[in-house]
Structure 1
Amino acid sequence: MLFHPIIIPKQTAVVNSRAVFFAIIPAAGLTAGAPRCTLLETFREGFMTNGQHLLFYRNPARCWEEALPLGNGRIGAMVYGRADEELIELNEDTLWGGRPRSFDGGGYFEQLGEARRLLRERRFAEADEFISSHMLHYDSEGYLPAGRLKLRFAGPLPDGEYRRELELSEAVAATRTGGLLCEWFVSAPHQVLVMRCTATVPGTAGFALSLDSPLRHTVGIEAGDLFLNGVCPVHARGDEITETDAEGRGGIRFEIRARLLAEGGTVAAGAGALTASGADSIQLLVAIRSDFRGWNREPAGAFPAEACRADLDRAAAAGSDALRRAHIEEHQLYYRRSSLELPEDAADALPTDERLAAGTGAPSPALAALLYNYGRYLLLASSRPGTEPANLQGIWNRHTLPPWGSNYTTNINLEMNYWSALPANLAECAEPLFRFLREAAEAGKETAERLYHARGWCLHHNSDLWRFTYPATGQARWAYWPVAGLWLCRHICEYYRFTGNLEFLREAYPLLRGSAAFALDLLTGDESGALGTSPSTSPENGFLDPESGRTATVCACGSSMDLELIRECFLNLAEAAAELGLDEPLLAESEPALARLRRPGIGEAGQLLEYDEAYEEAEPHHRHLSHLYGVYPGELFTPDCDPERYEAARISLIRRGDRSTGWAMCWRLALWARFRDGGRAEAVLKEFLTPVDPAAETSYQSGGIYPNLLSAHPPFQIDANLGIPAAIAELLVQSHRRSADGTMILDLLPALPPGWEEGKLTGVRARNGVTLDLAWKNSRVAAVRIRAAKPVKVELNAPRFTRRVEAGPEAQFLTSYQ
């Protein structure tokens, strides 16, 4: 078993408003009767927290970007909260275009040689065009929607105040309209979408339920259940949908099955709909299953009606109260592990969309806390053990041809989706990523051998349900990038560093070894004997060809990102082999290659060069920050290790600017945290929290955030939402540095933004198996609670607070300010 979950026992923090202190109250876990916000006790009077775990609105959602997301990792739902005809958009994580397939890659290796020749002759723009025209022939598939639920309510609703909300700590969305309260959640324990609609006046609840889908489908009634049988196309990407292949076969088959249970009323079926009327309350249960059987297996070829019926039967037998209780208890076991609290202002009591608008230019610190808590919620809702990894939109997509296929984009986006899993204490949520990596490595062995005549395995910049590993169609600037596997392997090493799980490292080690073997065979030497990669791109960016003046995107001796990834890969291989006590023969190749590996250069302005030479930048404010990988998420460049390039990277970040797409601002925020600049971090957060009107015409690089707090590229991508908890955590706790004697340094409050003078972060995880709670006041550490999976020496470092401790399973409390 590749993945080993880590359960951290709950610790309750209690803080006095006059003198800051912590009391230890250990417990084995959360109980059903535990008070809400057990981990959210405040340390001064009047410190509000509800707005940091709640989204609420005065009006129904007008569009998808205002609807509220629910999920259990496999089933996703967007709840609109409409009073007349409720709309729920549905997703299931295995609904993708395509079927298993293979590619021949004929002639690619010879074309690679031609591209290298053009680059040696410094014909950069020609090499770019050659790769785009001759070497990029295939494409990944796209992620697809399942369908829509519509609830048309019976008769006019009573007058009354309207409110809809999403309670993050319970993962329950609710809509109150007059005398009707409807609650929605997606249960992980019971694997169904659940709605319960309760009338204030008994006998007045009623609605008609219908199902449809943008995919090919039929709708029917069976034994009182409403069902939809759908078929995915065999190809859906870009602007093209192909329903069947040459043999007449469609793609993945799926079923949505709904059941109504009424208390005090009646349920009727007919004309492709279910109707409930005259009820005190109505419970709706929805199951979704597909015939997907694995990335390299053909779909089963049958609609999964039996599996859906079994899901509904189990949920119905449990009863509505038990369903809700089991859902909340299971969700809180994960969600309550960590929380961030920051000061609120008067605007934080407003509905979420109004709160965003009120904060334009000067958002409340509490909005950053809400982003941290919301990001953890979304990761838990879109990635669970046994599910598919979160894609470009998590699991929430309404388009048959979504932007960028809503696929796995591996030149930043998939990686960012999982930045928070370890520091934000949701390690289990990374299991789908590790399974994806194992399967992509299996598919990528053939890709490495056929395309590069190389050992090991490789992955390019796009993938999908079928673990596509070839270069995609389009342009070299994004499609030619064969080192994605090296970046993803970083997540393996980080998992080990955060958890100390040696068995996990042992089982994942072949993936590290395979990526290093591929990197060795990819390297080429230049005239000086230095090693680099050719062709080489810095994902999606470009430079001006010195000869022709045209934009080019490929260079001859390795982009800085390629070189940083390969350097890190070789260092990680050596570290992992030493930890496992292995006599690794590949080190005899990687160690001398590491010594010859070209180092990223520094330009005349003191900036870190993105390419092998100081070319003129085609887009000085480009969204990607690939050459700064060595600062974050890596740690090749720090004030202690290569300070010259650390400073050069800081200058490069200044030159790039703060304003960009949503995910690019998330990366900027994490980098400014590593540069210990809280003021610049605050500026990026202000840009990130810029409200975006979904109906407005916006640049695709304008960034910002939608009314439902989903991040805007635009359009929507989930990566910034899932990555922002890690970036915010870096502002408050960093654990990537080591002292001269090898002791891990925990930097506390290294980049505290203005306005964050007091706050509390609980359950944040650090490397070496450390978990800590941190309270601060007047911008100084007030109290720390620290524990570790096994005894480890830690150096705590903060302004006017430095000490060494030996952390272990027994929590220690340290105070520094009263």
Structure 2
Amino acid sequence: MLLLVATLCAQTLFSQTKVPGKKWTAWSAKPALAWQDAFVTGNGKHGTMLTGNPGEERIICVHEELFIRAWDRHKVAVANISGLLPRVRTLADLGKFDLAASLSTDEARRQLTAMGAPQAWSISPHPAFDLNVKTESTGPIAAYRRELNMETGEAKSHWEDKNGAVEQSVFSSRANDVNVIRIIGLKGKKLNISLGLNETPGRKGEVAGLDLNNVFSSVSSSAEPGWLKYHASYSQDTGGYDGLARVTITGGEMSVVDNHLQIKNASQILIVMRITPLEYGSTSQEIPVRNELSALSPNYQELLMPHAKLHGEMFRRVVLDLGAGAQWLSTSTEKMLADAHTKGITPLFLEQMHAMGRYLLISSSGKYPPPLQGIWGGSWNPAWIGGFVMDSNVNLAISAISTGDLEECAESYFGYVERLLPAWRLNARNYLGCRGFLVPHYSDPEKGYLNHFGDGFPWMYWPGGAGWNLMPFYEHGMLYGNRNFLQKRVLPLYLEMAAFYEDYLTKEKDGFYHISPGISPENATPGSNTTLCKDATFDAAIAREVFDHLLKMGSMFNLDKTDMDKWKHYRDNIVPYRINADGALAEWIPAQYADEYAHRHNSHMYPIFPGTEFLQADADKYLLQGAKVALAKRFKSDTESAHGLIHLALMAARLHDEEKVAANLNRFAQRNYVYTGLSTSHNPNHAIYNLDSSLSLQRLLADMLVFSQPGRIELLPAYSSNLPDGKLSGVRIHGGHKLDLQWIAGKLQSAIIYAGANETCTFLYKGKEKKIQLMAGKIYIFNSMFQLTSK
């Protein structure tokens, strides 16, 4: 076998993935009257949503760190009920799950109420304020267009009246951490505009058990020549936030009218805005922020270019090209979505949604990973408090951070988790009396204390949550081939998880280690009204994976043999999985519990995705077949949840089930999950703004085209011949390598591997195998006959 090739300089090791001449601009000829339809901008922290009719635009301004809190952020809110675990475990072992759940949750809620933390919902994100732009117009409005350039991160609107045209441009600067808005008059148009910062409408009713009318102790909006100001202080929390906007004009004049700026006869207006979260709302950062904003360029292009360079480089690292480039220019999002609704998936639908998924992930990964709505939202009462939901939602939202070569987004997640570890340790100690970590289902993203639970969902007994949410660390290290990351940041986490399981697992007379109590998200245990259970398949899979990953890292780093033997003992003696009477992998290992297939969660199939236990070369084929049957049962029952469709399709892709993958993609395309701004909803027909599906779709499309494990890369494992022809460039594969792939009618045309490390790797395609000794810095090419050639 001939090995290729050319050695590359380190700085050009991987392919440049920009498609020449490609336009990444989605557009609409209709204004976004509902905030959900807005094109969004974001730099991870700041963001905007461009909405409203021509002449009455409303730019909703958001910041990732703004939350209504049910109690003060400095409160330590963790109950101490570890002494109840033996009794709860006895009840669970007897199948008295409802009684076990109420015993523990009642006492925990009593303690938290006494601490001043009575609500199950601790935080809810909210918009900062609106920038209202009222522009004088004459005669009928014509030539309206709004657009989003995903490559530069810039949103625009354009409209004309009889005196000329008005164009608004908005981006959230990654270089300067500000929102930048330019309004320019074209075709002779002079701008007569009123500008003001006003509270986003709709603050009424309740959120997180709090009266929205009383969540602020003070709110103020004001103006002075060249500046708009906003300040808010919370009532239940010591914090608050500032908003400050520098306003400069070209031509014309500016005056203050009440709390607005009135601008007359200007040719251009530039607004540079920063939102500053405050730990103490009684303070202000106006003076230092004013100095920083004053120092920024008054030239829009000078502000845009450094941001566009940073954002665009991230966006272009991975490109899916399905030949729809010309259609971006000619087809509105309304027409694209109407075609998808009628026909199912089209090349333009998949290409735009893949690109939008990358755009949204880049734009909403800052201090935190994306919660349910990303950093955006125009509502004061979002569904499920718009939270960081740790039992599939966040997991799906970040699923493409590593395969998508977005190390910056990965770091948002890793930093978030690492800051929460002290709280997760306290959760484990106080609720379970264990070392290690206990992950809350929802929590304040600054604190991580477990206080969201109820009788039906007693999340303090969710041992598998921690391993699930640590697995992306391990996957990232393996995909990037980063031994230092694995040794310094991943291994210590898994060592703590091993300590947790040593404390929590119970060895019974059958010789196996059991997990009691536990939870199978979010499905009630048959015969009960609670998710509390014993020996959930999900919990067993996570425990087994933790010890398996430790063994792999132990071999990698020559860890102590005594520890290795101990981890192997635990891994090999966790209670075995069960195949039920239908031949399906059972969701609960005890034989008395029948499966409930009509449920959107598929977490008991964790060994297929995101885990890989059943996909290993030495895996039990009986279990693999059971997973296939279980998947078929869940698929048949369908789900309205968009993220449920993508989650199941991700599992189907790893089982080589092209038909189910394509069917769920069509379900996703045809049920009106996608708004005209290309963000997505949780339910069909645009119900509940939610980004899990759009963020995870890019991972699904990648997994359909390449499935990688350490030393083993499979090409086109689940891409149907009925799906569009195209190219995928720049995707990460295990071992620190990258891949460009091209296909026609579901068949390989070429695969280019950019080796990032020295290793022996087996490549598979349609039943064929080729083993290659990869050398870092070299390029390897397979042709359409799966033959290795030189470049």
Is 1:199 the counterpart of 2:181? The answer is no
* Native 8 Å contact 2:456 2:529 kept in 1: no
Is 1:267 the counterpart of 2:254? The answer is yes
State how far apart, in whole Å, the 2-side matches of 1:815 and 1:104 are.
Answer: 58
Q: Give, in angstroms, the shift of residue 668 of structure 1.
A: 1.1
* Native 8 Å contact 1:478 1:539 kept in 2: no
Q: After the TM superposition, which residues 544-555 of structure 1 pair with which residues of structure 2 at under 5 Å, given as runs?
A: 544-545=526-527, 550-555=528-533
Percent identity, please: 25
State which drifts further: 780-789 or 69-78.
780-789
Q: After the TM superposition, which residues 94-105 of structure 1 pair with which residues of structure 2 at under 5 Å, given as runs?
A: 94-96=65-67, 97=69, 98-103=72-77, 105=79
State how far apart, in whole Å, the 1-side matches of 2:483 and 2:58 are.
Answer: 47
State how far apart, in whole Å, the 2-side matches of 1:368 and 1:615 are.
Answer: 43
CA offsets per residue over residues 533-584 of structure 1, 9 Å max, x none?
1111101102322xxxx5442222x101101111111111222233233338
Aligned equivalent of 1:698: none
TM-score relative to the length of structure 2: 0.88
Aligned equivalent of 1:247: none
* Native 8 Å contact 2:224 2:261 kept in 1: no
Which of 411, 420, 423 does residue 403 from structure 2 map onto?
423
Is 1:68 the counterpart of 2:39? The answer is yes
State how far apart, in whole Å, the 2-side matches of 1:29 and 1:266 are.
Answer: 51
- CA, structure 1 residues 444+302, in 2 after alignment: closer, same or farther (shift >3 Å)? same
* Native 8 Å contact 2:76 2:449 kept in 1: no
Amino acid at match of 1:707: T
Q: Give, in angstroms, the shift of residue 496 of structure 1.
A: 0.9
* Native 8 Å contact 2:327 2:348 kept in 1: no
State how far apart, in whole Å, the 1-side matches of 2:25 and 2:376 are.
Answer: 20
CA offsets per residue over residues 462-488 of structure 1, 9 Å max, x none?
222232232513234363424322112
Is 1:372 the counterpart of 2:354? The answer is yes
State how far apart, in whole Å, the 2-side matches of 1:416 and 1:581 are.
Answer: 33
* Native 8 Å contact 2:36 2:377 kept in 1: no
- CA, structure 1 residues 622+283, in 2 after alignment: closer, same or farther (shift >3 Å)? same
Which of 66, 75, 92 does residue 63 from structure 2 map onto?
92
* Native 8 Å contact 1:192 1:286 kept in 2: yes
Is 1:183 the counterpart of 2:162? The answer is no
Which of 80, 101, 114 does residue 87 from structure 2 map onto?
114
Which of 736, 759, 772 does residue 769 from structure 1 map onto?
736
Aligned equivalent of 1:238: none
* Native 8 Å contact 1:39 1:339 kept in 2: yes
Is 1:438 the counterpart of 2:418? The answer is yes
Which of 238, 251, 255 does residue 251 from structure 1 map onto?
238
Aligned equivalent of 2:209: none
Aligned equivalent of 1:395: 375
State how far apart, in whole Å, the 1-side matches of 2:604 and 2:543 are.
Answer: 13
* Native 8 Å contact 2:126 2:379 kept in 1: yes
CA offsets per residue over residues 438-494 of structure 1, 9 Å max, x none?
122112222222221111222121222232232513234363424322112111111
**3-state SS of paired residue (2:632):** helix
Is 1:571 the counterpart of 2:535? The answer is no
CA offsets per residue over residues 371-404 of structure 1, 9 Å max, x none?
21111111100114xx222222111123333222
Amino acid at match of 1:543: T
Q: Give, in angstroms, the shift of residue 121 of structure 1.
A: 2.2
- CA, structure 1 residues 60+563, in 2 after alignment: closer, same or farther (shift >3 Å)? same
* Native 8 Å contact 2:456 2:530 kept in 1: no
* Native 8 Å contact 1:81 1:175 kept in 2: no
Which of 633, 645, 652 does residue 672 from structure 1 map onto?
652
Which of 703, 720, 727 does residue 760 from structure 1 map onto?
727
Q: Give, in angstroms, the shift of residue 812 of structure 1.
A: 3.1
**3-state SS of paired residue (2:230):** strand
State how far apart, in whole Å, the 1-side matches of 2:357 and 2:241 are.
Answer: 29
**3-state SS of paired residue (2:123):** coil
Which of 146, 166, 170 does residue 148 from structure 2 map onto?
166
* Native 8 Å contact 1:260 1:267 kept in 2: no
Which of 170, 192, 196 does residue 210 from structure 1 map onto?
196
Amino acid at match of 1:356: L
Aligned equivalent of 1:632: 609
State how far apart, in whole Å, the 2-side matches of 1:686 and 1:644 are.
Answer: 30
* Native 8 Å contact 1:345 1:364 kept in 2: no
Which of 758, 780, 784 does residue 812 from structure 1 map onto?
780
CA offsets per residue over residues 230-288 of structure 1, 9 Å max, x none?
123xxxxxxxxxx23xxxxx432211111221122222233101122212222121111
Which of 317, 331, 342 does residue 322 from structure 2 map onto?
342
Which of 533, 536, 547 does residue 559 from structure 1 map onto?
536
Gaps (5+ residues) in structure 1?
Answer: 1-21, 31-36, 43-48, 233-242, 245-249, 293-298, 693-703, 739-743
- CA, structure 1 residues 457+784, in 2 after alignment: closer, same or farther (shift >3 Å)? same
Amino acid at match of 2:40: P
Q: Give, in angstroms, the shift of residue 150 of structure 1.
A: 0.7
**3-state SS of paired residue (2:232):** strand
Q: Give, in angstroms, the shift of residue 586 of structure 1.
A: 4.9
> CA RMSD of the aligned region, Å?
2.7
Aligned equivalent of 2:766: 799
Aligned equivalent of 1:786: 753
Q: After the TM superposition, which residues 639-658 of structure 1 pair with which residues of structure 2 at under 5 Å, given as runs?
A: 640=617, 641-657=619-635, 658=638
Which of 707, 716, 728 does residue 734 from structure 1 map onto?
707
CA offsets per residue over residues 662-689 of structure 1, 9 Å max, x none?
1111111211110112221111011112
Q: Give, in angstroms, the shift of residue 229 of structure 1.
A: 0.3
Which of 564, 570, 581 does residue 593 from structure 1 map onto?
570
Q: Give, in angstroms, the shift of residue 587 of structure 1.
A: 4.3
State how far apart, in whole Å, the 2-side matches of 1:155 and 1:365 are.
Answer: 39
Q: Give, in angstroms, the shift of residue 175 of structure 1.
A: 0.8
Amino acid at match of 1:712: S
State how far apart, in whole Å, the 1-side matches of 2:351 and 2:785 are.
Answer: 23
Work out which structure has the larger RCO, using CA pairs closer than 8 Å and 6 or more positions apart in sequence: 2
TM-score relative to the length of structure 1: 0.85
State which drifts further: 271-280 or 559-568.
271-280
* Native 8 Å contact 1:190 1:314 kept in 2: no
Q: Give, in angstroms, the shift of residue 55 of structure 1.
A: 2.2
**3-state SS of paired residue (1:456):** coil
Gaps (5+ residues) in structure 2?
Answer: 113-117, 204-215, 787-791
Aligned equivalent of 1:220: 222
* Native 8 Å contact 1:191 1:311 kept in 2: no
**3-state SS of paired residue (1:771):** strand
Aligned equivalent of 1:296: none
State how far apart, in whole Å, the 1-side matches of 2:661 and 2:231 are.
Answer: 49
Q: Give, in angstroms, the shift of residue 54 of structure 1.
A: 3.1
Amino acid at match of 1:396: W
Aligned equivalent of 2:698: 725
Q: After the TM superposition, which residues 23-38 of structure 1 pair with which residues of structure 2 at under 5 Å, given as runs?
A: none
Aligned equivalent of 1:701: none
**3-state SS of paired residue (1:660):** coil
State how far apart, in whole Å, the 2-side matches of 1:798 and 1:338 are.
Answer: 22
* Native 8 Å contact 2:17 2:729 kept in 1: no
- CA, structure 1 residues 616+510, in 2 after alignment: closer, same or farther (shift >3 Å)? closer
State how far apart, in whole Å, the 1-side matches of 2:47 and 2:530 are.
Answer: 41
Amino acid at match of 1:111: L
Is 1:517 the counterpart of 2:515? The answer is no
State how far apart, in whole Å, the 1-side matches of 2:675 and 2:671 are.
Answer: 6
CA offsets per residue over residues 616-649 of structure 1, 9 Å max, x none?
5574210111101110110011273222212211
* Native 8 Å contact 1:157 1:177 kept in 2: no
State how far apart, in whole Å, the 1-side matches of 2:426 and 2:49 are.
Answer: 39
Aligned equivalent of 1:505: 486
- CA, structure 1 residues 706+776, in 2 after alignment: closer, same or farther (shift >3 Å)? same
Aligned equivalent of 2:434: 454
- CA, structure 1 residues 212+254, in 2 after alignment: closer, same or farther (shift >3 Å)? same
* Native 8 Å contact 2:232 2:281 kept in 1: no
- CA, structure 1 residues 453+128, in 2 after alignment: closer, same or farther (shift >3 Å)? closer
Q: After the TM superposition, which residues 677-756 of structure 1 pair with which residues of structure 2 at under 5 Å, given as runs?
A: 677-692=657-672, 704-714=673-683, 715-736=688-709, 744-756=711-723
State which drifts further: 118-127 or 320-329.
118-127
Q: Give, in angstroms, the shift of residue 691 of structure 1.
A: 4.5
- CA, structure 1 residues 273+415, in 2 after alignment: closer, same or farther (shift >3 Å)? same
